[in-house]
Amino acid sequence: MKKVVVAGVILLVILTAGILESVFVDKLFDALDDRLYALEDAIHKEDDGANEQIKQLTSWWEKRRNVLELFTYSPDVRAFSVALAEAEGSLECDDYQNALSKVQSLIVMSSNIHRILDFNIEDIV
């Protein structure tokens, strides 16, 4: 009987951790997408504030990336940081067209990484 209880507790802990991870990933990528779309709008307008906006986004992402890498690994997460730095460099050079293309790539990468890290029925089947 004790073995059944211990197995039940372990199963409950695993399920809870999985649910919390899924909620964290969903909230993280929803916030990231909001920030990326706001940055895209600023770049379209060639707003001078876009440079500061991408610096804040980079800082925000790096903090969350470190937390994300505590419980999951994806080379795409690190590649996202590189692409973000490339977009930041383009904005520092006032190359709005290149920055826009990089941000649009970041939006696609964000969607792909979210789908990879999130729980999907395809993962089971």
Task: Give the separation between CA 110 and CA 79, rounded to whole angstroms.
Answer: 11
- Residue-level pLDDT at 92: 92
Residue 91 resides in a domain: yes
Q: How confident is the model at residue 123 (pLDDT cuts 50, 70, 90)?
A: low
Residue 53 included in any domain: yes
* Host domain of residue 108: 25-119
Q: Is the pLDDT of residue 28 over 70?
A: yes
Return the number of other C-beta atoms located less than 10 Å from residue 6's C-beta: 10
pLDDT beyond 80 at 122: no
**Alpha carbon 112 to chain centroid, angstroms:** 9
Residue 67 falls within a domain, yes or no? yes
Provide the number of structural domains found in the chain.
1
Average pLDDT over residues 6-10: 92
Nearest to 42 by CA among 85, 87, 109: 87
Enumerate long-range contacts of 86-95, CB under 8 Å, 24 or more apart.
Answer: 87/54, 88/51, 88/54, 88/55, 88/58, 91/43, 91/50, 91/51, 91/54, 92/51
The pair of structure tokens assigned to 51 is: 């440079």
pLDDT for 84-107, tens place per residue? 999 999 999 989 999 999 999 999
Position 75 scores a pLDDT of 87
Please report whether residue 10 resides in a domain: no
